[in-house]
């Protein structure tokens, strides 16, 4: 009989859901009861909505338990580990039981996330036991030339997963063709799109795959130094990367003549980003590594020609690099088997917002948005109506429900006015106001604009002012046209991707939800009942107990009524702050 193994998912999301305590509790009880089972840790399998996740492997098979908070640990140990009787109610998936939530895994193809949630990210041995560093060995053992490596990446058809969708192999080729005694490879781990977290998950769950990807890239283009530019907001990712780099160094996978390839030397270091969205832009990122303000530079020259410290540089993002070892090891045709004609392979999406199964999914390109949301994502929370999905973050756009048959590949998504971006999918239901969402994004890009280009710096500010005005019921006739005009000007006259795409959320929401803008401007109404300033608050007499909580909370004394008597809101005094609504414990305030 083998020892039972308990594996706890300790990614950032798991930890936020309390997995750390769960992990400790397993340890505590094991020691207290002198039990004999093994406890291991792994990272996130993407099923964030059921965190903390615990996998138990014993002689009878594998069992994935969901929502294992501290309180359930005791019961699981008692029943499953001590008495060999698994608890079906808590199991998400096993050979025998399959809960409804397990549909989350159906249709997923894991290439990028192949190891996430399956290995201990702090162990190089576990990475190697699942084929890790085999791609590097293959290059070394078969004397694969750099041309052949680049050709493989080209043949796989993989396009940059960070936003632009530029073919990765082409980039490598450019960097290779520029002669220089020094070249750099950079991993862009400055995941800036608020609402996407696949890069964090990969770095936390499988850091070696990214390092191996960088090695292969360095070999292909002839680089000898590498940087991983990682957001400081991801402390756990940085910690695990550091561990992984140390392990690789100890094993001789970094350093001189690595994998026995003569003159192939590589050192990789981590640079912590200091918090600036614009640093996702290649040239701004380079400026930041050089220790300057992260402001984009004019291109050409492209980084492949003159990048970091004026040397040829290749930059790929985390998700792209994590795919590379798999492609080299399994061959480009295997990768190109998935996807559509112009978008090959799989793509990771972060499902968030009003969706039942929030988390990370990896699907072949070409699947429809609808399938992602309904089949994998389980549909909309609370039985509400699906309204739109924001794809591509602040640079992307809103895709309305009636276009949800759109397939995910670069070109189809671009055709809607959104972009694939890094793959953040924020799902919105009927209670989300799209004008407010557009305002939210402009608020973000306006703050993050580096200020170099006038139209981006000032234009986004003006757009934000107009949008704020509209959501506060002060919109004017002609505002929509004005927004469109400024938007196009910003797009045309900005140097970098931030400015060129910043107006997208506004343009797409105007395109698909013009009537909602008009309702705000003309009728001073917010159809989603979300913009506070446009609502009226009323007391529902039947529910009001006269507890006075609302009256006490009201900052402008707009609520009248004696104790234990039905209260009343003076509409001309009310400033629509919403305090009464949040204070009321009896659902006696109505919005309209």
Partner 1 sequence: MRIKRIIPEKIVDSASVSEIPDLTLMDPLIEKYKTRKGNLIPLLQGTQEIYGYIPHEAFLKLNRETGLKLNEMYGVATFYAQFRLSPAGKHIIKMCHGTACHVQGVTAITDEISDLLNVKDGETTEDKVFTLETVACLGCCSLAPVMMIGEETHGKLTPKEASKIVKEIRRNEKFTENVKS
Q: Give me the residues that bind ligand FES (CB under 6 A), please.
A: 194-195
Find the length of the chain.
592
Give the total of residues touching partner 1 (CB under 8 A). Answer: 60
**Residue carrying structure tokens 């964030």:** 48
Closest listed residue to residue 367, CA positions, set 405, 319, 396, 333:
405
**φ and ψ of 482, to 5 deg:** -65, -45
Q: Which stretch binds partner 1 (CB under 8 A): 106-114, 212-220, 275-283, 559-567?
A: 275-283
Q: What is the DSSP-derived secondary structure letter of residue 384?
A: P
Does residue number 283 form part of the binding site for partner 1 (CB under 8 A)? no
Does residue number 202 form part of the binding site for partner 1 (CB under 8 A)? no
**φ and ψ of 81, to 5 deg:** -80, -45
Between 316 and 446, whose beta carbon lies closer to partner 1?
A: 446
Picked from ligand FES, partner 1, none, the partner binding residue 293 (CB below 5 to 8 A depending on kind) is partner 1
Does residue number 235 form part of the binding site for partner 1 (CB under 8 A)? yes
Quote the CA–CA distance of 521 and 509 in Å, as a whole number.
Answer: 15
Token pair of 311, please? 């040397």
Among 77, 175, 187, 196, binds partner 1 (CB under 8 A): 196
Between 195 and 312, whose beta carbon lies closer to ligand FES?
A: 195
Torsion of CA 165, 167, 173, 176, to 10 degrees: 30
Among 121, 359, 364, 499, binds partner 1 (CB under 8 A): 359
End-to-end CA distance of the chain, in Å? 65
H/E run at residue 181: none
Q: Find the shortest distance in angstroms from Cβ 46 to ligand FES.
A: 15
Between 252 and 275, whose beta carbon lies closer to partner 1?
A: 275
> Which residues neighbour 527 within 8 Å (Cβ) at sequence distance 6 or greater?
433, 516, 519
Q: Which stretch binds partner 1 (CB under 8 A): 35-43, 155-163, 352-360, 474-482?
A: 352-360
Q: Find the shortest distance in angstroms from Cβ 461 to partner 1.
A: 8
Q: Find the shortest distance in angstroms from Cβ 390 to ligand FES.
A: 12
Closest listed residue to residue 39, CA positions, set 53, 23, 51:
23
Region for 84 from its dihedrals, namely left if φ exceeds 0, alpha if ψ lies in -120 to 50, beta otherwise: left
Between 194 and 301, whose beta carbon lies closer to ligand FES?
A: 194
Q: Which of residues 285-304 bind partner 1 (CB under 8 A)?
A: 288-294
Picked from partner 1, ligand FES, none, the partner binding residue 448 (CB below 5 to 8 A depending on kind) is partner 1
Quote the CA–CA distance of 318 and 161 in Å, as a whole number.
Answer: 8
Closest listed residue to residue 320, CA positions, set 149, 159, 157:
159
Q: Which of residues 405-444 bind partner 1 (CB under 8 A)?
A: 424, 426, 428, 432, 437, 440-441, 444
- Interface contacts to partner 1, rule CB under 8 A: 12-13, 15-17, 48-49, 51, 191-197, 200-201, 232-235, 271-272, 274-277, 288-294, 309, 350-354, 358-360, 390, 393-394, 424, 426, 428, 432, 437, 440-441, 444, 446-448, 450, 578, 582
């Amino acid at each position: 009989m083998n020892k039972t193994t308990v594996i706890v998912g300790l990614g950032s999301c798991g930890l936020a859901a309390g997995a750390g305590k769960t992990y400790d509790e397993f340890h505590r009880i094991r020691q207290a009861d002198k039990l004999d089972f093994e406890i291991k840790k792994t990272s996130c399998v993407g099923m964030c909505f059921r965190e903390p996740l615990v996998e138990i492997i014993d002689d009878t098979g594998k069992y994935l338990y969901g929502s294992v908070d501290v309180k359930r640990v005791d019961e699981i140990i008692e029943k499953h580990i001590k008495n060999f009787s698994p608890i079906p109610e808590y199991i998400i998936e096993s050979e025998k039981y399959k809960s409804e939530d397990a549909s989350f895994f159906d249709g997923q193809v894991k290439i990028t996330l192949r190891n996430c949630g399956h290995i201990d990210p702090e162990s190089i041995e576990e990475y190697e036991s699942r084929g890790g560093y085999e791609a590097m060995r293959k290059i070394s053992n078969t004397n694969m030339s750099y041309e052949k490596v680049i050709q493989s990446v080209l043949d796989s058809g993989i396009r940059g997963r960070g936003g632009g969708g530029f073919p990765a192999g082409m980039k490598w080729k450019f960097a290779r063709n520029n002669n220089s005694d020094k070249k750099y490879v950079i991993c862009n781990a400055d995941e800036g799109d608020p609402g996407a977290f696949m890069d964090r998950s990969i770095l936390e769950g499988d850091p070696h795959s990214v390092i191996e990807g960088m090695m292969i890239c360095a070999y292909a283009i002839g680089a000898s130094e590498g940087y991983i530019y990682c957001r400081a907001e991801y402390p756990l990712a940085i910690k695990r990367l550091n561990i992984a780099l140390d392990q690789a160094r100890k094993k001789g996978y970094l350093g001189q003549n690595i994998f026995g390839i003569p003159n192939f030397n590589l050192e990789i270091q981590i640079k912590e980003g200091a918090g600036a969205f614009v640093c996702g832009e290649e040239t701004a990122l380079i400026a930041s590594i050089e220790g300057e303000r992260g402001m984009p530079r004019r291109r050409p020259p492209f980084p492949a020609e003159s990048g970091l410290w004026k040397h040829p540089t290749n930059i790929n993002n985390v998700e792209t690099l994590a795919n590379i070892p798999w492609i080299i090891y399994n061959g480009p045709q295997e990768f190109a088997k998935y996807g559509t004609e112009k978008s090959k392979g799989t793509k990771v999406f972060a499902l968030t917002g009003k969706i039942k199964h929030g988390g990370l999914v990896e699907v072949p390109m070409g699947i429809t948005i609808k399938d992602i949301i309904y089949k994998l994502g389980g549909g909309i929370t609370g039985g509400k109506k699906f309204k739109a999905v924001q794809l591509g973050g602040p640079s992307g756009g809103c895709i309305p429900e009636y276009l949800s048959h759109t397939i995910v590949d670069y070109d189809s998504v671009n055709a809607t006015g959104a972009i694939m971006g890094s793959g953040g999918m924020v799902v919105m239901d009927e209670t989300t106001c799209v004008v407010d969402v557009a305002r939210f994004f402009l608020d973000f890009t306006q703050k993050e604009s580096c200020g170099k280009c006038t139209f981006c710096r000032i234009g986004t500010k003006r757009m934000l002012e107009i949008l704020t005005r509209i959501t506060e019921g002060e919109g004017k006739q002609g505002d929509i046209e004005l927004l469109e005009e400024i938007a196009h000007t910003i797009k045309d006259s900005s140097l970098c991707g931030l400015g060129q795409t910043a107006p997208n959320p506004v343009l797409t929401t105007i395109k698909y939800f013009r009537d909602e803008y008009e309702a705000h401007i003309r009728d001073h109404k917010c159809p989603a009942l979300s913009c506070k300033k446009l609502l009226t608050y009323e007391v529902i007499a039947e529910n009001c107990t006269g507890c006075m909580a609302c009256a006490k909370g009201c900052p402008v004394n707009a609520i009248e009524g004696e104790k234990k008597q039905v209260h009343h809101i003076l509409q001309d005094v009310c400033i629509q702050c919403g305090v009464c609504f949040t204070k009321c414990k009896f659902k006696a305030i109505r919005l309209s």
